[in-house]
Structure formats: C-alpha cells, structure tokens
C-alpha cells in the first residue's frame, strides 16, 4: 500500500483522511501540521469565539487518529519537498518518505506593505482569535482595515462587546465585486445601524501605535486589525518547482504538475469541471468537498472536482448562504424583504443564466438555489422565499 503524506493539518486534510478511512483505505497515512493543534475549523474564529460562545472547532476527536491508524505530527513544519527522492523534510531536519504527497497548506493573512503593518492584529489561527477576544473584552476602540467578510464579521462581534469600531475600506462599497452595489450598500447600512463607523473610499497609509493614518487623516484606535484577505501558502510548492499561478495549479483530480503531488483546499487553484475553469476558493465548504474528493481520487475512484462554490456569513441579523460564482457585471434580482434581511438574491448573466444565488434569513432552500445555477431563467420566473 502507498504511503500518503499530507502537508498541512487543516480542515481539507482532516476531511480527506476521514474519508480515506471511512471508505476502507488501509494504507499508511501521515499528516504533518505546523500548528500545535489538532485540525480545527476557522469560521468560529470570527463568529462564535469572538461572541464569547462555547464552540469546539476540532474537526476530528482526539482519539480518532490513534483509533484509525493515521499518524499526525502537530507543531511540525515541512520545509522542503524532494520530488525526485519522493520525500519531505520536516523541521528540524529528518526526512519522511512518501508515495503520494497532498499539499493542504491553506492560506495566510495578507500583510500590506505599509509602515507599522507588522504590529497590527491579524486573524487566521486559534491564537489570533484568542488574542482578539481579549482585545474585545478589554473594550476601547478598534480600527479594522478592510471590509471583507472577516473584517465585517469581527466588526459585528466587536459591537456585541460595546467596542467602538471603525472599519476602513478602500473601495467605494464593501464586497461589491461579489454582491453588487445594492447589496454592498445594504451591508454598509446594516453596520452603520449597529454603530459601526464604516468608512469607504479610504486608503490606509500606515499603522500607528495609536491608530491608523489614512488618506482622510488619523483614525485613533487602541488596537488595529488588518483584514485585507489571504494569500495562498505556496512557498513550499514554488521552491519544489511545481506550477503555481495564484495558488498551486491542479487539474480536476487535484494533480499538480507532478503526478505524485496533489493539492487541495485554500491553496489549490483547481479546475472545476462544472464552471469549466480554474478557481481558487477560500471557503470552508470547498475545503471539505476537496478533502473528500481527493480521498476518492487516491482510492482510484473516478472523482472530479465539479462542486459549485458555497459560503456563508453571519453579521448582526444578516445570515446568509451563497452558492455559485457571479461575475462583477452580472445583474442582481432580489425576491423577498431586503430590509428585514429575509430574501433571496440571484445573479444573472446578460442571457439570464443564473451564475449565483444567495438566501438571507431564509433556510433549507440552498439546495434548490444550487440546482438553479447554470440554468437560464427569466427574471419573472425567479422564485421568492416561499417558492412562489
């Protein structure tokens, strides 16, 4: 039996090894993760955890690993891939042989090239989340650079601790490239109505000890969180000479430019046969789906990556699920009560093809929305929240 080695012990790797064992694969499996934790889910870090709610983000119970004969090294970084010798070097130096290598190294917060940026808070790990919770519990003023999903979720959590929050966004509207202008404005109004000082069209020039310097002057704050997106952790793959283009380039079966090396999760720029193009997706559901799918590939099943992207967010009373992938110039059709945050939104291409759909405060409809993506539907026929 082959020895499968996973680099990175995040959600994608955990879901892959779980599926391998569930489906009867009994070859040797090793997972090497740099963090000192069992694989855990990150979505609670900007939601439940910051709201002070108990949440166990561990993906597989501590006993699972021993019971299923999967070797897990935590707190161990892989520093080098020797593709010719089919082995990886572990920090601090010994080598581990593989037959098949799966890179699941995830992503890291984007650090802007600005004075003082190294001294800001970032949010990716359990430690980052714990530090931020302490900050929120301490009260005071928080400046958040970036009104993306994580920045806005943290802003909502911070308001529940009565923290004074200023969000600084360079674009004219937050998330407009994904949601379009109407829903971008909706998010601005939502946050402002909860006391978030959300400023758009503002360029941050420096992170200071007591705030941030912006194109509009200094914003004073006790703490600064930078949340301007993530970059895929491709360093290892690049040094090993694998094809990298905005993520590790893989085909629909997760194969890199080396047939013995695969990549999944946030780090993979994977061919999606449903969309007919490569896409790197930084979402929880993608890590789960690609983890399971790569396990099927490793077991020789005829699995391909054809699952439409899906993600969700919770901010104040705006809780939603989104499926598909819209283009910036798609038009948006809304059905239901936008002001009450109970509605469906559809993104339509010029020929009325549904490219994406979102349910806000309306549940158990996402599978129906998923089935509509890719179909041409006249706007008059787009159903509302109760299916009418």
Quick one: which of 224, 198, 228 has its CA closest to 210?
A: 224
Residues 238, 281, 258: CA angle, nearest 5 degrees: 35
Residue 283 within binding range of ligand FAD, rule CB under 6 A: yes
**Which one of residues 5, 10, 60, 362 is an interface residue with ligand FAD (CB under 6 A)?**
10
Quick one: which of 233, 226, 259 has its CA closest to 247?
A: 233
**Run of H or E residues at 323:** strand 318-324
Residue 105 within binding range of ligand FAD, rule CB under 6 A: yes
Report the residue number, 30 or 166, with the smaller CB distance to ligand FAD.
30
Q: Is residue 306 a contact partner of residue 273, using CB atoms and an 8 Å limit?
A: yes
**Which one of residues 151, 265, 324, 336 is an interface residue with ligand FAD (CB under 6 A)?**
265
Pairing, β 100-103 against β 3-7:
parallel
Shortest approach of ligand FAD to residue 314 CB, angstroms? 7
Residue 321 within binding range of ligand FAD, rule CB under 6 A: no
Using alpha carbons, list the distances in angstroms from residue 328 to 179, 243, 260, 308: 8, 28, 37, 17
Q: Binding pattern to ligand FAD, positions 51-90, x when CB under 6 A? A: --------------------------xx------------
Quick one: which of 1, 227, 244 has its CA closest to 105?
A: 244
Number of amino acids touching ligand FAD (CB under 6 A) = 36
User: Residue with structure tokens 């929305």?
Assistant: 369
Residue 123 within binding range of ligand FAD, rule CB under 6 A: yes
Q: Binding pattern to ligand FAD, positions 347-386, x when CB under 6 A? A: ----------------------------------------
CA dihedral 11, 50, 163, 340 (to 10 degrees): 80
Sign of the C-alpha dihedral computed for residues 219, 154, 183 and 112 taken in this order: positive
Residue 107 within binding range of ligand FAD, rule CB under 6 A: yes
Shortest approach of ligand FAD to residue 32 CB, angstroms? 5
Q: Binding pattern to ligand FAD, positions 187-226, x when CB under 6 A? A: ----------------------------------------
Can you give the binding site for ligand FAD, defined by CB under 6 A? 7-13, 32-35, 42-43, 45-46, 77-78, 104-107, 123-124, 150, 233, 236, 265-266, 282-285, 287, 311-313
């Amino acid at each position: 039996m082959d020895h499968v080695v996973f680099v990175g012990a995040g959600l994608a790797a955990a879901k892959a090894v779980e599926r391998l064992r569930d489906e009867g694969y009994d070859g040797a499996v090793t997972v090497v993760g740099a963090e000192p934790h069992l694989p855990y889910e990150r979505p609670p870090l900007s939601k439940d955890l910051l709201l002070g709610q108990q949440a166990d983000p561990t993906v597989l119970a501590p006993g699972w690993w021993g019971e299923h004969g999967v070797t897990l090294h935590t707190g161990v970084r892989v520093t080098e891939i020797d593709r010719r010798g089919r082995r990886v070097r572990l920090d601090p130096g010994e080598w581990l042989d593989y037959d098949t290598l799966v890179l699941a190294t995830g992503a890291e917060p984007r650090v802007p090239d600005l004075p003082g940026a190294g001294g800001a808070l970032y949010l990716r790990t359990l430690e980052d989340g714990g530090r931020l919770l302490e900050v929120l519990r301490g009260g005071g003023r928080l400046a958040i650079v970036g009104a993306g999903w994580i920045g806005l979720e943290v802003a909502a959590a911070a308001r529940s601790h009565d923290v004074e929050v200023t969000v600084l966004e360079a674009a004219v509207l937050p998330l407009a490239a994904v949601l379009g202008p109407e829903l971008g404005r909706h998010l601005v109004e939502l946050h402002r109505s909860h006391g978030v000082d959300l400023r758009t069209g503002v360029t941050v020039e420096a992170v200071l000890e007591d705030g941030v310097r912006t194109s509009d002057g200094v914003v004073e704050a006790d703490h600064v969180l930078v949340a301007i997106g993530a970059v895929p952790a491709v360093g290892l793959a690049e040094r090993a000479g694998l094809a990298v283009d905005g993520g590790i380039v893989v085909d629909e079966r997760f194969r890199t430019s080396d047939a013995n090396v695969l990549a999944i999760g946030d780090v993979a720029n994977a061919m999606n046969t449903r969309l007919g193009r490569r896409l790197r997706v930084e979402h929880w559901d993608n890590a789960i789906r690609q983890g399971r799918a790569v396990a099927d590939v490793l077991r020789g099943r005829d699995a391909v990556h054809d699952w439409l992207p899906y993600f969700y967010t919770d901010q104040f009373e705006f809780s939603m699920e989104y499926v598909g992938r819209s283009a910036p110039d798609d038009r948006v059709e809304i059905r239901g009560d936008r002001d009450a945050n109970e509605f469906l939104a559809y993104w339509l291409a010029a020929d009325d093809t549904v490219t994406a759909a979102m349910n806000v405060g309306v549940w158990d409809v996402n599978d129906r929305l998923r089935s509509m993506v890719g179909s041409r539907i006249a706007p008059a026929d787009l159903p509302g929240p109760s299916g009418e």
